[in-house]
Chain A
């Protein structure tokens, strides 16, 4: 069952599909507003989200007991542009992927990073 409203598309079936409308507000280095970009994607595996969280915690020197959720925004955690780029580089190393500039710019939350990683890992040619 699906219902369509002006701004969101939601599925009632209990599937792993998720919808996300995302925007980011930042005060320092600005990020492009994504306004009503709609994404329907398979949510990343919890292990991936966890690995991303660990990398973010390390880069931003957050205490071990800082509660991060998939929705945690890098900017809200105090990441500046240099932090974000270091996080992207750490993710590339950890997952052996290569992130395009445009994609890197669109990563603003842990969930988005995890989703992009799984997308790229899946697309890699078989070794």
Chain B
């Protein structure tokens, strides 16, 4: 799977179109500021629904981020067509019955049906879009420095599973504990988003994501079931159907990616490619890694 990451860039620069982006732009002249240029593209690229969504955001920063998010989604999905270039403008989107955004291939005029899935997440300063083939994907990003207003353990006790609370409770340093809490949040959120059925289909306290012993970055999902009367003996069902990739992006954010392991790929490792991108302008390979 691939993740495109966009950080707010404050520099200005002139560009030649990188050959890997097969899109025709209206103008190839000097680009003064990537963000302003992208905003000028709003009318060109976004659907009316998306523009209405951008307008709903309160404040210029939020509007800009909403615009950038839609731009990133459209250009990223358009890039990863398996056989033919697609104009990012022509992509249509819909929501599944639970409200998860998806590409509407049937209504896209010049697209062939593609087995592409995507998911997006953003913070104030970073937007991430993940694209996969054949399998659902969920992604979540959080600022590493994000402060939790509540006591971390109290928050975890309220929302996380018992095993996760126990894990967090073993961390003596509050700052390290906060960071692990955030990492766990991104993993859990990525799973719920990959599942695509809404928060209430998988309440956070009904599953545990824990690291796989002997691995540095392997995580597995275990469902807790409350069949036994004794809450201390919740039976767990761990399966390998869901794969996780924890990442750090731009040194400033924790991210987690979750995909469903389809039958064809059973047990195969997940290859994750991270690119940092300014749509139409720049594209930089950041990392390519295997997660078991």
On whether the beta carbons of B59 and A32 are closer than 8 Å, the reply is: no
B69, B101, B200, B203: which has the most chain A beta carbons within 10 Å? B200
Given contacts A59-B149, A101-B203, contact A32 B198 (CB under 8 A): yes
On whether the beta carbons of A86 and B149 are closer than 8 Å, the reply is: yes
Q: How far is the CB of A24 from chain B (nearest CB, A)?
A: 8
CB closest residue in chain A, given B128:
A28
Q: How many residues of A contact B (CB 8 A)?
A: 27
Given contacts A33-B99, A102-B200, contact A81 B189 (CB under 8 A): yes
Chain A window 37-74, contacts with chain B (Cβ cutoff 8 Å), 1 for yes, 0 for no: 00000000000000000000011000000100000110
On whether the beta carbons of A29 and B189 are closer than 8 Å, the reply is: yes
On whether the beta carbons of B121 and A78 are closer than 8 Å, the reply is: no
Residue B58 contacts which of A28, A76, A90 (CB distance < 8 angstroms)? A76
CB closest residue in chain B, given A77:
B58
- Asked whether any CB of chain A lies closer than 8 Å to the CB of B95, the reply is yes
CB closest residue in chain B, given A86:
B149
Residues of A within 8 A of B189 (CB): 29, 81-82
Given contacts A32-B198, A81-B189, contact A27 B59 (CB under 8 A): no
Chain A window 76-96, contacts with chain B (Cβ cutoff 8 Å), 1 for yes, 0 for no: 111011100110011000000
Majority-rule SS of B interface residues: mixed
Q: How far is the CB of A74 from chain B (nearest CB, A)?
A: 11
- Asked whether any CB of chain A lies closer than 8 Å to the CB of B89, the reply is no
- Asked whether any CB of chain B lies closer than 8 Å to the CB of A105, the reply is yes
Instruction: Tell me the residues in window 8-48 of chain A with beta carbons closer than 8 Å to chain B beta carbons.
Output: 25, 27-33
On whether the beta carbons of A104 and B146 are closer than 8 Å, the reply is: no
On whether the beta carbons of A76 and B123 are closer than 8 Å, the reply is: no
A104 and B158 alpha carbons, distance in the complex (Å): 13
On whether the beta carbons of B99 and A76 are closer than 8 Å, the reply is: no
- Asked whether any CB of chain A lies closer than 8 Å to the CB of B259, the reply is no
Instruction: Tell me the residues in window 40-88 of chain B with beta carbons closer than 8 Å to chain A beta carbons.
Output: 49, 52-53, 56-59, 61-62, 66, 69-70
Given contacts A77-B58, A105-B199, contact A27 B120 (CB under 8 A): yes
Residue A101 contacts which of B120, B193, B199 (CB distance < 8 angstroms)? B199
Instruction: Tell me the residues in window 117-137 of chain B with beta carbons closer than 8 Å to chain A beta carbons.
Output: 120-124
**Interface size band for B:** 35 or more
- Asked whether any CB of chain A lies closer than 8 Å to the CB of B100, the reply is yes
- Asked whether any CB of chain A lies closer than 8 Å to the CB of B164, the reply is no
Residues of A within 8 A of B62 (CB): 76-78
On whether the beta carbons of B193 and A27 are closer than 8 Å, the reply is: no
- Asked whether any CB of chain A lies closer than 8 Å to the CB of B28, the reply is no
On whether the beta carbons of B95 and A33 are closer than 8 Å, the reply is: yes
CB closest residue in chain A, given B52:
A25
A27, A72, A73, A104: which has the most chain B beta carbons within 10 Å? A27
Residue A27 contacts which of B66, B158, B200 (CB distance < 8 angstroms)? B66
Residue B69 contacts which of A27, A32, A105 (CB distance < 8 angstroms)? A27
A90 and B58 alpha carbons, distance in the complex (Å): 22
Residues of B within 8 A of A59 (CB): 149
Q: How far is the CB of B163 from chain A (nearest CB, A)?
A: 19
A2 and B261 alpha carbons, distance in the complex (Å): 53
Binding site for B on A (CB under 8 A): 25, 27-33, 58-59, 66, 72-73, 76-78, 80-82, 85-86, 89-90, 101-102, 104-105
Binding site for A on B (CB under 8 A): 49, 52-53, 56-59, 61-62, 66, 69-70, 95, 98-101, 120-124, 140, 142, 146, 148-150, 155, 158-159, 185, 189, 193, 198-200, 203
> 5 tightest CB-CB pairs across the interface, nearest first?
A32-B99, A101-B203, A102-B200, A30-B99, A105-B199
